[in-house]
Chain A
Amino acid sequence: MKLNRCKSAIRNITLTLVIVGLGACKHALDYAPKGSLSADLVKDANGAELLVTAAYASLGNGNEYSSCSDWIWGSVRADDAYKGGASTGDQPEIDRLEQFAFILPDQSFLQNVWVWNFEAIGRANLALSVINNLNTSQYPLKLQRQAEMRFLRAHFYFWMVENFKNVPWIDETLTPEQRKKVSNTALTQDQLWDKIAADFQFGVDNLPLTQTQIGRANKIAAAAYLAKTRLYQAYMQDKNHNVIGINATHLNEVLAQTAFVIGTGKYSLAPDFAQNFLYEYENGPESIFAIQYSIADGTPIGREDWSHNLNNNMAPAYGCCSFHRPSDNLVNAFKTDNNGLPLFDNFNTSLVSSQSDFVTNSFDPRLDHTIGIPGHPFKYDNTFIYQTSYARAPEVYGVYSAMKEVMPPNSPSLKRDGSRLATAKNWDIIRYDDVLLWRAEALIELNRQAEALPLINQIRERAANSTGRLKLKDGTFATNYNVQQYVDGVNCNWTQAFARKALQWERRVEFATESPRFFDLVRWGIAAETLNSYFAAESKRHQFLKAAHFQKNKNEYLPIPQQQITLSEGLYKQNPGY
């Protein structure tokens, strides 16, 4: 009896279990992802703000070869600097870029910078697509944020167009399926410049003169970037990258926009050139738009400038890795004649090889703001004299060190990760000196070189005044400085041709190793002759450049990454020559 009851109880339990099991409710399988948001949750004003911030973050998302800085793409690829490091085999992809002859479309650096820039463009587009669906009552900042996002999109596209020339134009109106169908040759480079210009124009029209948050783009930055865009666009290229003419309309647009920037009076040249390269002075009077880096910000290694982390020299205070090494050619470019003007034609005939050469010759003081030279104070510290031993592989890459992107060893901006050092120092995208020289360039090409003269001289005057931080302990200088302004009819004959030469020289020494050099050469249409003559002379001093060769009508631009061409099923077309 007892056993039977037990048995029936067991039977009941079994039955219940089976029923519970079979009838388990539908919610048993519900699952919500943790720590992330679904698409619906970012569609309001709050979501829009989050997407906007993330788009800004793209500005600083870089590593040693990203487009955050152009030391590889603009400086190593030009006559300003060598790759550096332990040998040519150290970061071989950069070696290929430096020597041009062996660039391959499937190099991972090319693929990665392409992807990263489109990720950044994607962030801006994503924010725009959400903002566009909000009205101003929901989102009072609608127009301003749209303008900021179009500014960022144009910024990233600018880099893509100046490096790859033929890229697909993607805006926020395209669905993913539509994006896959846009060819990189659907628009010509000229049309792409127009698209970029339209984005900056939208910024000029809709951004405030001043932003309470300094990291955001303002109206002046948009105007300056628009000027830069039109300047690049003005030099018309054919399909094979030959410059076939200069468009005066675009040059006049450059004048209009630079006039606006200068006219606001909001920006000016810093009294000492050095301030542009010191953490303490970042966001100074000359900085129109900059990547805002930060340290001790709660991120694992800081949202710092990791794009220059290889470029500290081998001084014990830094440790590694001595990349980005100023060329002999660049050192020579700072030479001046007795009038304090550049040695335009004979600058590179003799090699500066010993300290006495820095005293017997005369130089533009920007030399010691740009290059670490044995026996000279490094980074404005006369207790920190640069030594030959700080140069890695001197038998390959010589003895000089890059300096502008390097912070003093005791700078609170520095953060170490293994042998690498990064800095929280902002990296300027647009500086006031650049704006002055764009304007000067446009004036000269419009045959109004007389108006360009005072602009260039303003730059030279500031250079002459920028020696205060270069003194040795005893108050003397390691270099004999002599830089003078151009005086038409006195120390020069300020014709259009001469003015052009002076402008090109001024841009080189002002922005040496900062990156614009390669893009300037391509814009001016003189990359092949300049670089091949550079290789011819330089390879006698540095044998590793023996095989280096710039192929005209090809190497002006990078190849389209092979993987993208493949993924596009052949929709993307490779650039000429690759």
Chain B
Amino acid sequence: MRKVLLACMLLILSICSSYAQIKPVTGVVTDDQHKPMEFVTVTILETQKSTTTDMNGRFKINVLNGQNLKFSFVGSIPVTVKVGSGTKDLQIQLKSQYTALNEVVVTGYQTQRKADVIGAVSVVNMDDVKDVPIASPLQALQGRIPGMSITTDGTPGGSARSVLIRGINTLGNNDPLYIIDGQAVDRRLFETMDPNDIQSLQVLKDAASASIYGSRASNGVIIITTKGAKGNKLRVDFNNSSSLQNYASHLQMLNTLQRGQVLWQAAINDGITPVSTQYTFTSHKDAQGNPVLDNVGVNEYLDKTVQGGIKAGNTDWFKEISRPGFLIRDNLSLSSGSDTHSLYLSFSNLVNRGIVKYTDNQQYDFRVNSSINSPNHALKIGENLQVSYSKQTPIGSGQGGTPLDLGILDLPILPVYAEDGSFSGPIGSGFSNRQNALQVAELSRNWKNYYRSVYGNAYLEITPVKNLLFRSVYGLEYTEGQQVVINPTYKAGFLSSTVNSYSNNNTTNVNLTWSNTLNYNLEFGKSRLNLLGGFEYLNFNSSFINGYKEGFLVQTPDYFQFDAGTGVSTLNGNASGYKLLSYFAKTNYSFNSKYLASLTLRSDGSSRFGANNRFGFFPAASVGWRISEESLIKNKLPFISQLMARAGIGTTGNQKIGNAAVFGLFTPAYGVINARRNSGSAYDLNGINTGTLPSGVIATQTANPNLKWESTTEINGGLDFGFFDQKVTGSFDYFFRKTKDILLVPPYLAVLGEGGPMWQNGATMQNKGWEFTLGYNNHVGDFDYRLNANIGSFKDKVTYIPASSLRAYPGNTEKTILGHSLSSIFGYVTDGIYQNQAEVDAGPIQPGKGVGRIRYKDLNGDGVIDQLDQDFLGTTLPDFEYGLNTSISYKNFTLTFFLQGIQGAKQVNTVKNQATLFGAFIGQNNSTLILNAWTPQHTNTDIPAVSNFDSNNETRTSTYQIENSSYLKLRNIQLGYTLPKSFLQKWKMSRAEIYVSATNLFTVKSSQFISPDPENPGTFYPIARTFTLGLSTSF
């Protein structure tokens, strides 16, 4: 490519010494990939006369010899050529600047140049993302896109906890729509992809751009396009990265002696004699008569009778369940293309050993993208196919929760092992029935989650006449999730399980999509028109089957199969599905490349809605004005290299409800259980105690044949800008959304019975916000540097909820969620701690109040603390989120770092209850924060006195647990080195880079936040700190 350009320049130079004479000069302008470029401005510098290139990149201009022609185009490096006597047919190639403007953006059933997009669309630079050592490409997007908010945890192969594009728009599911190669897919399918296979990723944020996806687009759309062959030559890429992972930090729990102190103090505070079967206490009274603890003795044995005896220990449970983790990722791809064919083959695997013992994940992906073109390009047939498989050992769970939950709950005095070497368990007095954390990890080591998927499409593209493209795509998504749970028998302390079991839960989804589109490009005068029309039919079917069997004589993992079990077995399963039939049309119009407009119409019919309201209509319109093309700007403000104003309005829909939401349902619920409570319909009428029981049916849902779409209307205004030849670029977007007819199941009075649930269209919400991105790139000598910052803010507000449903949301009889964000926290306001009896007596009526107890504010001043004294105390969504990506390169070195943060969010950190409140969690451990609890001698604290009782109900949601969860994290820092050409040639490589990186090196958080990680306050899987060594090569 370079050679061609060079030759071209030489040619031009060789002929520029000629003399002046008016003559027509013609030529063709092409881009990096030798494709003709349209609308390139060709200006005679001396006269400022100009013309533009046509659809074939050709131009014609009358010019004098010796004058200079400047070829310029938004996003490209301008080229100036001096016209000489020999100048006739110019071949100009414009190289693109570092900018996203020229990128081709997939905007739904068609592609557009980024510069022509007039909706709020964000494009992710996959180069920034692909080396980040995170299993899922979705998680790697965290902080990269303004207005997109992702919360996650560190589970190997785990799923993001939530994904929001422009905040909360509905009361139900806010997950966006995921489109891979033109077809809507399950989020999990995207999460198991290898980022190296992704060619481009864009996010359609506003309704005007998303409405082409109609009924499913109101939460935004993420469009992923996978790679095809690049260029004509055979190319092999190999990437490897190896990472080490460890805990960033964890909550500091009490040790055995500290807990003894707290136990003693609790009894003293309650005015009862401290007695314990685990500890002995010696104390005396000081001069004022206050008891003083002299010594805490630990009894040698917790129990002598079981498991050879269980001795008192001093266990750090977090340490016991943790280990160093690693993550290794490999990707090998091959691509080859020609004028008539294209092939891309890729294989990747990922192995992640989790930082909690026994958890891991293995993932394999295989991809073939190929296409065949007829020589005249009238016919193209192709396919994209992805086969992936993942096997995960999830974090297990036992009595008391996961090993991470138990890391907090288990008492330090419990040793890991009993004297006979087996796992110890709670025994004797003073324990709650919480299992040994490490034992839970060990017992559940054979739990497996499998995810298998085959996803692909076959397409046919026909160009029957010039500029008309017919495209038919048939897509199939087959996914299978399988959960295997093996629970062996155990005995530890007073806990035991005498029956082992095996369960296998299989969910299969088959999603067939057939879409047909016609795309027509038309040009007349300075106008360009693009027309798109099409229809799509989607048929989604899902089924699950869940088997369970008990009684396995041998407990090796391989033995646990249904045939080998001899005990009780149960079988459950069901199926459901939905269908969607859609018609859509879109037109894009541009005049003189300056004025742009777009109109979208989509009509969707869904089987999920009642016959009365099956179809929904989703229109959208948007306009754009490329101000920088106005001659005023071009001439007077040349530093403005690009300026475009955009505005759009559109409606999108939401149909994320149950497949059978419109029906009145009666279900045979033979043996349904929920937390050991049977809620089934079978009963032993015959009184014979066993065997198949007579069973009935129960009502589960009330019909609503009038159920219809929920729809979101959005206005978006935006400005894209670039200054100083695109050295500074950026954009700003403002949006306002209104969602109405929100689908919900209102809570209902108990007297309606089990059939009470009924889907209804009810609530209305508003959401508004803005997003801003700013980029700067420049070079000083050999230093190239690039900064990209983004910031986004959104605020939702519930504006209407039917009175019948209002009670399902935070609030009380006087204050309701109306006017507040759906993510609002509602609770009591604390007012310090009651310091003495006089204060207690003077305080309002508060059941359980007392000296050393939390005082709550009597907000309504009625002299009683009750549910009317609650208020809205902030939102769990931040005021704004931001990201800053910086890349500096010098010669062969590149340093990048990425900072991400959120500001102004609050959280109900319930871990603080467990950490600091003794009475509500007897028999479970607390954090060392509790050592700072109130006593008559130590009053300068906000932690209430330890007590064996939680009479004051201090676990109620109040400002005691509400904490500022703002943070700033150094997500990733990476140093890369590109190997020199000399070395590459020796190894026949075209490119090779090695890099080292670290993720989550540091976090800045509010000092008020007691958990180590505000992103992950509870006992979700911790987000690891990771150190990586990587290699990326091309042959």
**For residues 540 through 576 of chain B, which have their beta carbon under 8 Å from a beta carbon of chain A?**
548, 568, 570, 574-576
Contact among B306, B698, B751, B813 with A123 in the assembled complex (CB-CB below 8 Å): B698
Residues of B within 8 A of A21 (CB): 516, 534-535, 537, 583
Docked complex: A162-201 residues within 8 A CB-CB of B: 168, 170, 176, 179-180, 182
Q: Cβ of A122 < 8 Å from any Cβ of B? A: yes
B429 touches A298 (CB 8 A): no
B-binding segment of A113-121, A459-467, A492-500, A524-532: A113-121
B659 CB-CB contact with A under 8 Å: yes
Partner of A17, one of B472, B570, B687: B472
- Pick the residue among A7, A49, A303, A395 that contacts B682 (CB under 8 A): A303
B982 within 8 A of A: no
Whether, in the assembled complex, A35 has its beta carbon less than 8 Å from a beta carbon of chain B, the answer is yes
Task: Enumerate chain A residues within 8 angstroms of B748, measured Cβ to Cβ.
Answer: 567
**Given A63-B675, A102-B953, A320-B495, also A35-B614 (CB < 8 A):** no
Q: Quick check: A303 and B578 within 8 Å, CB to CB?
A: no
Bound-complex Cα distance A265 to B151 (A) = 70
Chain A residues with CB under 8 Å of B702's CB are: 176
Q: Which of A18, A106, A292 contacts B518 (CB 8 A)?
A: A18
| B904 at interface by CB-CB < 8 Å | no
Establish whether residues A214 and B686, one from each chain, have CB atoms under 8 Å apart when the complex forms. Answer: yes
- Whether A10 and B676, one on each chain, are in contact in the complex, defined by CB atoms closer than 8 angstroms, is no
Q: Are B923 and A41 touching (Cβ within 8 A)?
A: no
Asked if B922 and A30 sit within 8 Å, CB to CB, the answer is: no
Once the chains are docked, how many angstroms separate the CA of A319 from the CA of B8? Answer: 88
User: B429 near A54 (CB under 8 angstroms)?
Assistant: no
Contact of B698 among A54, A63, A424 (CB under 8 A): A54
Contact call B430/A306, Cβ cutoff below 8 A: no
CB distance from A274 to the nearest CB of B (A): 19
The answer, among B581, B692, B749, for a CB contact under 8 Å with A180, is B749
A392 to B576, CA, bound (A): 48
Q: How long is the Cα–Cα vector from A33 to B662 in the complex, in angstroms? A: 10
Most chain A beta carbons < 10 A, residue from B399, B534, B605, B690: B690
Contacts of B273 in A (CB 8 A): 543
Chain B, residue nearest A40 (CB): B664
Question: Is the Cβ of A125 less than 8 Å from the Cβ of B753?
Answer: yes
Q: Is A306 a contact of B684 with CB atoms below 8 Å? A: no
Question: C-beta contact mask, A87-112 vs B, less than 8 Å → 1, else 0?
Answer: 11110100100000110101000000
Chain B, residues 733-761, CB within 8 Å of chain A (1/0): the string is 00000000000000111111111100000
Which of A226-234, A370-378, A413-421, A427-435 lies at the binding interface? A413-421
Residues 123-152 of B, flagged 1 when their CB comes within 8 A of A and 0 if not, give 000000000000000000000000000000
Residue of chain A at shortest CB distance from B693: A297
Contact A61–B678 (Cβ < 8 Å): yes
Is B690 a contact of A17 with CB atoms below 8 Å?
A: no
Cβ-closest chain B residue relative to A422 = B676
A31 touches B578 (CB 8 A): yes
A31 / chain B contacts, CB cutoff of 8 Å: 577-579, 607-608, 659-660
Closest A residue, CB atoms, query B581: A28
Instruction: Check B697 against A37 for contact (C-beta < 8 Å).
Output: yes
A359 at the binding interface (Cβ < 8 Å): no
A86 with B535: CB separation less than 8 A = no
Contact call A179/B949, Cβ cutoff below 8 A = no
With a 10 A CB-CB cut-off, give which of A301, A413, A418 has the most chain B CB atoms.
A418
Stretch from B496-504, B934-942, B999-1007 at the A interface: B496-504
A296 and B568 form a contact (CB under 8 A): yes
A547 interface residue (CB < 8 Å to B): yes
Give the most central of A3, A57, A568, A569: most B CB within 10 Å: A57
Which of A28, A297, A309 contacts B691, CB < 8 Å? A297
Contact of B752 among A176, A294, A544 (CB under 8 A): A176
Chain B residue numbers with a CB within 8 Å of A10 are 378-379, 462, 464, 470
Which range contains the number of B residues in contact with the other chain? 35 or more
- Decide if B21 is an interface residue (CB 8 Å cutoff): no
Which segment of A251-259, A334-342, A445-453, A558-566 sits at the interface? Answer: A558-566
| Interchain CB contact under 8 A, B676 and A301 | yes
CA–CA, A320 to B751, complex, Å? 36
Is B606 an interface position by the 8 A CB rule?
A: yes
Give a binary string over A297-333; 1 marks a CB under 8 Å from any B CB, 0 the rest.
1111101001001000010100111000000000000
Return chain B residues, CB-CB under 8 Å to A306.
676-678
Shortest distance in angstroms between B615's beta carbon and chain A's nearest beta carbon? Answer: 9
Question: Does B494 belong to the interface (CB within 8 Å)?
Answer: yes
Are B696 and A36 closer than 8 Å at their CB atoms?
Answer: no
Structural contact, B680 and A424, CB atoms closer than 8 A: no
Interface string of A8-52 (1 = CB under 8 A from B): 001101100110011010001111011111110110000101111
Establish whether residues B537 and A28, one from each chain, have CB atoms under 8 Å apart when the complex forms: yes
- Which of the four size classes fits the interface of chain A? 35 or more
B679 at interface by CB-CB < 8 Å = yes
Chain B residues contacting A562 (CB-CB under 8 Å) are 867
Which of B432, B664, B681 contacts A53, CB < 8 Å? B681
The reply to whether A102 and B848 form a contact with Cβ atoms under 8 Å apart is yes
| Docked-complex contact B607 and A29, CB < 8 angstroms | yes
Q: Does B276 contact A (CB under 8 A)?
A: yes
Among B660, B691, B754, which residue has its beta carbon within 8 angstroms of that of A33?
B660
- Given A21-B516, A567-B748, A298 and B754 touching (CB < 8 A)? no
Nearest to A126 among chain B residues (CB) is: B699
Mark out the residues of chain B between 664 and 706 whose CB falls within 8 Å of any chain A CB in the assembled complex: 664-671, 673, 675-700, 702-703
Q: Which residue of A lies closest to B697 (CB)?
A: A50
Contact A24 B576 (CB under 8 A): no
- Please tell me if the beta carbons of A33 and B703 are within 8 angstroms of each other in the complex: no
Chain A CB within 10 A, most for which of B399, B680, B687: B687
- Given contacts A38-B663, A294-B693, A564-B749, whether A543 and B681 have CB atoms under 8 Å apart is no
Q: Are B607 and A17 within 8 A (Cβ)?
A: no
Taking a contact as CB atoms under 8 Å apart, the answer to whether B518 and A295 are in contact is no
The answer, yes or no, to whether B951 is at the interface (CB within 8 Å) is yes
Knowing A33-B665, A102-B847, A419-B399, the reply to whether A90 touches B605 (Cβ < 8 A) is no
For the complex, what is the distance from the CA of A57 to the CA of B678, rounded to whole Å? Answer: 9
Which residue of A has the minimal Cβ distance to B664? Answer: A39
**Cβ of B948 under 8 Å from chain A:** yes
> Is the Cβ of B951 less than 8 Å from the Cβ of A547?
yes
A567 CA to B806 CA, complexed, in Å = 9
List of B residues within 8 angstroms of A87 by Cβ: 430, 432, 922-923, 948
Top 3 A-B residue pairs of the complex, sorted by shortest distance between their CB atoms: A122-B753, A299-B671, A54-B696
Q: List 20 A-B contacts (CB under 8 A).
A: A22-B583, A29-B614, A31-B607, A50-B697, A53-B681, A53-B694, A61-B680, A87-B432, A95-B949, A102-B847, A102-B848, A121-B751, A125-B753, A180-B751, A182-B751, A297-B684, A297-B691, A319-B495, A416-B498, A543-B273
Give the interface of B toward A (CB within 8 A): 270-273, 275-277, 305-306, 376, 378-379, 398-399, 428-433, 462, 464-465, 470, 472, 494-499, 516, 518, 534-535, 537, 548, 568, 570, 574-581, 583, 605-608, 614, 659-660, 663-671, 673, 675-700, 702-703, 747-756, 803, 807, 812-813, 847-848, 867, 919-923, 948-951, 953
Give A contacts to B, CB under 8 Å. 3, 6-7, 10-11, 13-14, 17-18, 21-22, 24, 28-31, 33-39, 41-42, 47, 49-57, 59-64, 66, 86-90, 92, 95, 101-102, 104, 106, 114-115, 118-119, 121-123, 125-126, 168, 170, 176, 179-180, 182, 213-216, 282-283, 292-301, 303, 306, 309, 314, 316, 319-321, 389, 392-396, 413, 416-420, 422, 424, 426, 543-544, 546-547, 562-564, 566-570
User: Known pairs A29-B579, A297-B693. 19 more at Cβ < 8 A?
Assistant: A21-B516, A21-B537, A31-B660, A33-B663, A33-B665, A53-B682, A56-B683, A57-B683, A88-B922, A88-B949, A114-B750, A168-B751, A282-B687, A306-B676, A393-B429, A396-B429, A544-B948, A544-B949, A546-B272
